[in-house]
């Protein structure tokens, strides 16, 4: 087991709001946009120079200037200089694991109903991308317990989150370990009391943690999982149904297509991030209360040995009577045409 990343926080630290106001300062991250819309993110440091094949500029020429300013290189090229928004920050920050894209983080916050004051458990923390959106949503009166099984990724997540908020966030705890072990420890300590209002899973095998989710969540609490592939989605959906402690799962994906806006050439961009992942959400039933029976028969898991039937894939199988009728009509027409 790697080091634990649970720190005692003694005084309320800055949450980053002040970092995003006022003139640009040494230590600020600044996003530079060139005339073709390409981005570069730099950390301002007195005495440093930004180099590009289009010339250079001194960081000191930006320090003290207002946010959203234009700086011109020695080669005469204008760069727009702005403090990055959270969405920009996440896409530009150093990564260990792949981050949840901002469009999906927004869906998670809205559809899992992450509210100020909520007690949220998240795994895996990865690079800390989603963590920042969750912390923003719960505010300082909620709690976010992030769990990451890899110590090296946890260290990256911590560095990213603390750089974004300008220090430790008082509502955040990050543990290195396996989610199921960490949650089992906490639920044991809490006795019969649920410890979480929401649980957010971004990991390879979320179905392995349904027991942990059921043990941790309040009745009515939301479990949301982000998975990259259809096979994971299918396996998770069937595991949620089989478990019997959750409501019927809902699944969806979101696609965001940018638009090109130039004079009369207003059209969708030619390129887009076409696939990131799928979201699946479900809610914890009250203890001992099974979810209402589904009207449709659940498909056998794609991973069982039961042979697949068309109904399992949602196909409507026509009755023999209907097939006889159609066949008779076709045979009759063919006979009519050839005679």
Ligand X SMILES: C[S@@+](CC[C@H](N)C(=O)[O-])C[C@H]1O[C@@H](n2cnc3c(N)ncnc32)[C@H](O)[C@@H]1O
Q: In the complex, what is the shortest distance from the CB of residue 24 to ligand X, in angstroms, rounded to a whole number?
A: 27
Query: Applying CB under 6 A, which of residues 16, 102, 128, 249 lies at the interface with ligand X?
Result: 128
CA angle 246, 244, 238 (to 5 degrees): 85
Buried b (16+ CB within 10 A) or exposed e, 207-220: bebbebbbbbbbee
**Closer of 126 and 221 to ligand X (Cβ):** 126
**Closer of 62 and 227 to ligand X (Cβ):** 227
**Number of chain residues interacting with ligand X (CB under 6 A):** 21
The count of other CB atoms within 10 Å of the CB of residue 128 is 31
**Closer of 80 and 228 to ligand X (Cβ):** 228
* 322, containing H or E segment: helix 320-338
Which residue stretch of 118-126, 136-144, 166-174, 187-195 sits at the interface with ligand X (rule: CB under 6 A)? 118-126
- Would you list the DSSP string of 56-83? EEEGGGTTTSPSSEEEE-TTS-EEEEEP
Any contact of residue 124 with ligand X (CB under 6 A)?
yes
**Cα(135)–Cα(130) distance, rounded to whole angstroms?**
9
Which residue stretch of 13-21, 149-157, 164-172, 256-264 sits at the interface with ligand X (rule: CB under 6 A)? 149-157
Query: Applying CB under 6 A, which of residues 62, 63, 147, 223 lies at the interface with ligand X?
Result: 147
**Cα(122)–Cα(144) distance, rounded to whole angstroms?**
7
**Closer of 130 and 214 to ligand X (Cβ):** 130
Q: In the complex, what is the shortest distance from the CB of residue 33 to ligand X, in angstroms, rounded to a whole number?
A: 24
Nearest CA to 126 among 162, 151, 107, 163? 151
Beta pairing class for 143-148 and 172-176:
parallel
- Interface pattern 189-228 for ligand X (x via CB under 6 A): -------------xxx------------------------
Q: In the complex, what is the shortest distance from the CB of residue 260 to ligand X, in angstroms, rounded to a whole number?
A: 28
Residues at the interface with ligand X (CB under 6 A): 97-100, 123-124, 126-130, 147-150, 153, 178-179, 202-204
């Amino acid at each position: 087991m790697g080091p634990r990343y649970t720190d005692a926080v003694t005084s309320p630290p800055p949450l980053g709001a002040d970092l995003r106001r006022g003139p640009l300062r040494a230590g600020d991250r600044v996003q530079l946009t060139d005339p073709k819309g390409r981005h570069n993110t730099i950390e301002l440091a007195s005495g440093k120079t930004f180099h590009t094949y289009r010339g250079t500029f001194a960081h000191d020429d930006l320090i003290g200037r207002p946010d959203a300013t234009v700086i011109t290189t020695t080669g005469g090229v204008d760069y727009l200089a702005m403090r990055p928004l959270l969405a920009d920050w996440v896409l530009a920050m150093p990564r260990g694991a792949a981050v949840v894209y901002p469009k999906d983080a927004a869906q998670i916050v809205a559809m899992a109903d992450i509210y100020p004051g909520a007690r949220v458990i998240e795994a895996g923390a990865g690079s800390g991308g989603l963590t920042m959106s969750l912390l923003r949503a719960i505010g300082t009166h909620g709690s976010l317990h992030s769990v990451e099984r890899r110590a090296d990724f946890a260290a990256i997540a911590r560095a990213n989150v603390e750089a974004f908020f300008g220090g430790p966030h008082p509502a955040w705890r990050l543990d290195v370990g396996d989610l199921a072990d960490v949650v089992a420890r906490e639920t044991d300590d809490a006795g019969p009391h649920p410890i979480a209002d929401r649980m957010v899973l971004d990991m390879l095998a979320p179905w392995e943690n349904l027991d942990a989710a059921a043990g941790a969540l309040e009745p009515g609490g939301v479990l949301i999982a982000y998975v990259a592939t259809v096979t994971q989605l299918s396996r998770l959906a069937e595991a949620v149904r089989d478990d019997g402690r959750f409501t019927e799962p809902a699944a969806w994906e979101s696609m965001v297509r940018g638009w090109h806006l130039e004079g009369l050439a207003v059209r969708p961009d030619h390129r887009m991030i076409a696939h990131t992942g799928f979201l699946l959400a479900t809610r914890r039933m009250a203890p001992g209360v099974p979810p209402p029976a589904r009207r449709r028969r659940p498909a056998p898991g794609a991973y069982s040995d039961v042979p697949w039937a068309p109904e399992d894939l949602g196909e409507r199988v026509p009755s023999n009577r209907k097939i006889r009728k159609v066949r008779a009509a076709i045979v009759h027409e063919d006979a009519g045409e050839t005679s």
